Amino acid sequence: MSSKESSRCGSYEDYKETADWLLAHTEQRPKVAIICGSGLGSLADLLDNKTVFPYSDIPRFPSTTVPGHAGQLVFGRLQGCECVCMQGRFHFFEGYNMQTVTYPVRVFFLLGIETLIVTNAAGGLNGSFNVGDIMIIKDHINLPGFAGQNPLCGHNDDRFGVRFPCMSDAFDRELSALAKQTAEEERCGSFLKQGVYCMVAGPTFETIAECKVLQTLGADAVGMSTVPEVVVARHCGLRVLGLSLITNIVVTDYDSEEKANHEDTLRITNSRAQDLQRLVSNLIKKI
């Protein structure tokens, strides 16, 4: 871990320093932020009048180490709406704590962001799901949180939010309904699903027994990200829409020869990326 990373403590002053630096280096004032999951960074390519900041140039910003995550913050206009896109997110399995994983979300809040769209690549647990489906996240299961790894642990700064935030409304119902309407208009309805996303810590993919446990818990898809960012976004009062691209169907049969791997995740993501781009782009017009 670099000296830049090890010195990060996540105080209000840290977040403000980062936000102030960004505000000083771009005239754009976005209200919508998009966090792009594995292989989904091409969403940022849709932006016009782009201003691009490599994470390494941004004060106190973490660095991403995962293939498929470009590692840059892109400001621009999408369908006339000013947006900022994260081309690459941060993960607990990279060795970061939860406060570092969610660092950009509080920066977004200080930038004036009101709506957060989170995307990810996920494994399908629901037997009716197919590879290439897009799932609107209606709820989540925070397994790391069950083990005490919650980004809100520790001192609460009331300037961001209340000590005990509600999570029964983590995903905005109006935005989810708008996403469904947009998908039908864009002829994406045939592969649009809705369900519960479960976060595991990773970096290992799940065992067969673990997949069966997650199905019993009511999860429809599983991945290694997203939930910490959603928790912090809701703590800050942001509206949240979550979209999972189903890149593989989890293995629940001991006789199966199928094996999950990151390369297949990126390959499937690339094949469906244009549909997801079209969905998000046309949704932005309506927000």
Name the amino acid, one letter, at 93: F
Q: What is the pLDDT of residues 20-48, one digit of tens each?
A: 999 999 999 999 999 988 667 778 888 99
- Spatial contact of 215 and 226, defined as CB atoms under 8 Å apart: no
Query: Binning pLDDT at 50, 70 and 90, where does residue 6 land?
Result: very low
* Integer Cα distance of 77 and 149 in angstroms: 35
* Integer Cα distance of 133 and 143 in angstroms: 23
Helix or strand or coil: residue 215? helix
Among 59-68, 189-198, 213-222, 233-242, the range scoring the smallest mean pLDDT is 59-68
221, pLDDT greater than 60: yes
What pLDDT does residue 5 have?
A: 41
DSSP 9-55: ---HHHHHHHHHHHHHH-----SEEEEE-TT-GGGGGG-EEEEEEEG
User: In sequence order, what are the residues at sequence separation of 6 or more whose Cβ sits closer than 8 angstroms to the Cβ of residue 175?
Assistant: 115, 239, 240, 241, 287
Query: Binning pLDDT at 50, 70 and 90, where does residue 2 land?
Result: very low
271, pLDDT greater than 90: no
What pLDDT does residue 258 have?
A: 75
Q: What is the mean pLDDT of the chain?
A: 90
What pLDDT does residue 9 have?
A: 53
Considering only CA atoms, which of 122, 275, 126 is closest in space to residue 191?
A: 275
In the beta sheet, which residues pair with residue 135? Answer: 193, 244
Query: Binning pLDDT at 50, 70 and 90, where does residue 8 land?
Result: very low
* Main-chain phi, psi angles of 80, to 5 degrees: 85, -5
* Integer Cα distance of 220 and 136 in angstroms: 11
Measured from the Cβ of residue 169, the count of other Cβ atoms closer than 10 Å reads 12
In the beta sheet, which residues pair with residue 21? Answer: none
Q: State the average pLDDT over residues 230-236.
A: 98
Residue span of the structural domain in which 165 resides = 3-286
Q: State the average pLDDT over residues 171-189.
A: 93
Query: Binning pLDDT at 50, 70 and 90, where does residue 264 land?
Result: low
What pLDDT does residue 63 have?
A: 84
14, pLDDT greater than 60: yes
What pLDDT does residue 265 have?
A: 64
153, pLDDT greater than 70: yes
Q: What is the pLDDT of residues 94-152, one digit of tens each?
A: 999 999 999 999 999 999 999 999 999 999 999 999 999 999 999 999 999 999 999 99
Length of the chain: 287
What pLDDT does residue 269 have?
A: 66
Number of domains in the chain: 1
What pLDDT does residue 285 have?
A: 86
The whole-model pTM stands at: 0.91
Give me the percent of the chain exceeding a pLDDT of 70.
Answer: 91
Query: Binning pLDDT at 50, 70 and 90, where does residue 54 land?
Result: very high
Which CATH number belongs to the domain containing residue 44 in this structure? 3.40.50.1580
What pLDDT does residue 286 have?
A: 87
